[in-house]
C-alpha cells in the first residue's frame, strides 16, 4: 500500500533547489517518487509506507531548506 504526503518547504527558488530537495527525500527508505515545485514550495512525496516526520525534516534540512509543515 502506498501513501502520498504533501509538504511545504521554505527557501526553494529554482529547478536546482527542486532537484536537491527531491534527491534528499528520495534517499528515505520506501520513497518511490518526489515532486518539488519551487514557486509554491510544495513537495509531494509518494512512498511505500507512512513517512516519519523526523526523516522528512532531516532530509529537507540536509538539502539546505526548511520544512514548514505538512499540508
* DSSP label of 51: P
Tell me the pLDDT tens digit for each residue of 10-64: 999 999 999 999 999 999 999 999 999 999 999 999 999 999 999 999 999 999 9
pLDDT at 2 over 90: no
Extract the C-alpha cell encoding 71. Answer: 499540508
For 71, counting Cβ atoms within 10 Å of its Cβ (0-12 exposed, 13-18 middle, 19+ buried), the class is exposed
Spatial separation of the C-alpha atoms in residues 71 and 57, rounded to whole Å: 14
pLDDT of 65 reads: 98
Domains of the chain: 3-70 (3.30.70.100)
Write out the H or E segment, with its range, that includes residue 49.
none
Q: Which helix (H) or strand (E) holds 8?
A: strand 3-10
Amino acid at each position: 500500500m502506498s501513501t502520498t504526503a504533501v509538504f511545504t518547504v521554505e527557501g526553494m527558488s529554482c529547478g536546482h533547489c527542486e532537484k536537491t530537495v527531491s534527491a534528499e527525500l528520495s534517499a528515505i527508505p520506501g520513497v518511490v517518487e518526489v515532486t518539488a515545485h519551487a514557486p509554491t514550495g510544495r513537495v509531494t512525496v509518494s512512498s511505500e509506507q507512512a513517512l516519519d516526520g523526523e526523516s522528512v525534516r532531516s532530509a529537507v534540512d540536509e538539502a539546505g531548506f526548511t520544512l514548514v509543515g505538512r499540508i
